[in-house]
């Protein structure tokens, strides 16, 4: 089967960030710094590195700072300090020609946010990358490219990134029911997916890890998906509907040193910042020495 290349990405970034108050009282959680970059730039860097150049961000109330961050009209590049490598995608003068924004005016769930991208996608396969989650992938092929390659090679309507979580954590995520063991180095078909199941009802310990590749048939399923958990349109429920109707979906797991950082609560945010800062080529060694000294003082 000849699959069309994925050229477009939808980045949902309309969540209120209530678990990060008061930090998010006047700024989007996607603009919280993780190392040298705001969270949303980490996500865009990842998407662009996978050769997906056209991006639609689904934003909402108090999210204007995201657009301002990528806007170089006031002063342009010469007003920004740092090398092109340090600036990342901000050094791309043509970036704003490929960035589009749409507002999710009412908080109706992740599925509804993705549905806002239908006209942008225009009948093509597309990537969904959650704007409040960073993926760290140190080896080649990078995680997102591996996800795209797995989708291109299979007759499926969705390819979903997953990671193993502890039994107690399944209540926080969409959990998949794989057909057989999840392969370490390749895709695995799934039979079902459940949004935030009770521990005793979880079909596995593999949780959705905030990255998906979809065929446009997803939008038809979203249009027929009723509000579910929390009274919202759940993306998980639309995927489940596709599975029930005979469509095939597969999962690809994180490997080795790959990590997912969910910037949704203070604990995970603090860990993400520490990890990124410790990897910083200029400041990481000094920070590591400082932290060793602090820990020694408290021992």
- Give the CATH number for residue 79: 3.90.550.10
In this structure, the dihedral spanned by the alpha carbons of residues 64, 65, 71 and 73, taken in order and rounded to 10 degrees, is 90
Q: Is 278 inside a domain boundary?
A: yes
Give the Cα separation of 209 and 248 in Å (integer): 19
Share the mean pLDDT of the chain.
89
- C-beta of residue 57 within 8 angstroms of C-beta of residue 127: no
Output the six-digit token pair for 178.
């794989």
Long-range contacts at 180-186 (CB < 8 A, ≥ 24 apart): 182/206, 182/251, 182/253, 183/253, 184/253, 184/255, 185/255, 186/150, 186/252
Q: Is 169 inside a domain boundary?
A: yes
Pairing of strands 133-136, 54-59: unpaired
Q: What is the mean pLDDT of residues 248-272?
A: 92
Q: What is the pLDDT of residue 82?
A: 61
Q: What is the pLDDT of residue 26?
A: 86
Q: Is 2 inside a domain boundary?
A: no
* Model confidence at 168: pLDDT above 80: yes
Beta bridge pairs of residue 176: 193
Residues contacting residue 220 through CB under 8 Å, at least 6 positions apart: none
Give the Cα separation of 130 and 288 in Å (integer): 30
Domain range spanning residue 58? 8-298
Q: pTM of the full predicted structure?
A: 0.91
* Model confidence at 74: pLDDT above 60: no
Q: Omega into 189 within 30° of 0, i.e. cis?
A: no
Q: Is 3 inside a domain boundary?
A: no
115-160 pLDDT, tens digit each: 999 999 999 999 999 999 999 988 877 899 999 999 999 999 999 9
CA distances 122 to 8, 125, 188, 206, Å, are: 10, 9, 28, 31
Q: What is the mean pLDDT of residues 248-277?
A: 93
Q: What is the CA radius of gyration of the chain?
A: 19
Give the Cα separation of 294 and 299 in Å (integer): 9
Q: pLDDT-based confidence at 259, cuts 50/70/90? A: very high
Cα–chain-centroid distance for residue 65?
Answer: 19
Q: Is 88 inside a domain boundary?
A: yes
Q: Is 198 inside a domain boundary?
A: yes
* Model confidence at 49: pLDDT above 60: yes
CA distances 282 to 36, 72, 134, 273, 290, Å, are: 11, 26, 21, 15, 14
Q: Is 167 inside a domain boundary?
A: yes
174-209 pLDDT, tens digit each: 999 999 888 887 899 999 999 999 999 899 999 999
Q: What is the pLDDT of residue 96?
A: 74
Q: Omega into 242 within 30° of 0, i.e. cis?
A: no
Q: Is 145 inside a domain boundary?
A: yes
Residues contacting residue 80 through CB under 8 Å, at least 6 positions apart: 72, 87, 90
DSSP 3-state of 204 = coil
Q: What is the mean pLDDT of residues 99-128?
A: 93
- Split into its structural domains, the chain has a count of 1
């Amino acid at each position: 089967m000849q699959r069309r290349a994925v050229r477009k990405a939808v980045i949902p970034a309309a969540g209120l960030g209530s678990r990060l108050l008061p930090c998010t009282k006047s700024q989007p959680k996607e603009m919280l710094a993780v190392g040298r970059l705001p969270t949303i730039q980490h996500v865009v860097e990842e998407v662009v590195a996978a050769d997906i150049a056209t991006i639609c961000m689904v934003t909402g109330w108090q999210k204007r700072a995201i657009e301002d961050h990528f806007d170089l009209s006031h002063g342009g590049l010469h007003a920004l300090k740092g090398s092109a490598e340090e600036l990342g995608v901000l050094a791309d003068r043509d970036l704003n020609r490929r960035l589009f924004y749409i507002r999710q005016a009412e908080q109706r769930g992740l599925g509804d946010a993705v549905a806002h991208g239908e006209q942008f996608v225009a009948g093509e396969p597309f990537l969904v990358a959650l704007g409040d989650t960073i993926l760290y992938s140190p080896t080649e092929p990078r995680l997102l490219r591996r996800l795209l390659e797995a989708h291109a090679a299979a007759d499926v309507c969705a390819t979903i990134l997953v990671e193993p979580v502890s039994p107690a954590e399944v209540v926080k995520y969409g959990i998949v029911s794989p057909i057989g063991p999840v392969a370490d180095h390749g895709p695995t078909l799934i039979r079902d997916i459940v949004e935030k199941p009770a521990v005793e009802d979880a079909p596995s310990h593999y949780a959705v890890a905030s990255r998906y590749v979809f065929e446009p048939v997803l939008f038809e399923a979203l249009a027929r998906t009723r509000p579910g958990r929390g009274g919202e349109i759940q993306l998980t429920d639309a995927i489940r509907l596709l599975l029930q109707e005979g469509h095939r979906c597969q999962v690809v797991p994180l490997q080795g040193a790959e990590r997912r950082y969910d910037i949704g609560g203070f604990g995970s945010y603090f860990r993400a910042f520490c990890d990124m800062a410790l990897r910083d080529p200029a400041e990481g060694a000094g920070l590591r020495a400082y932290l060793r000294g602090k820990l020694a003082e408290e021992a």
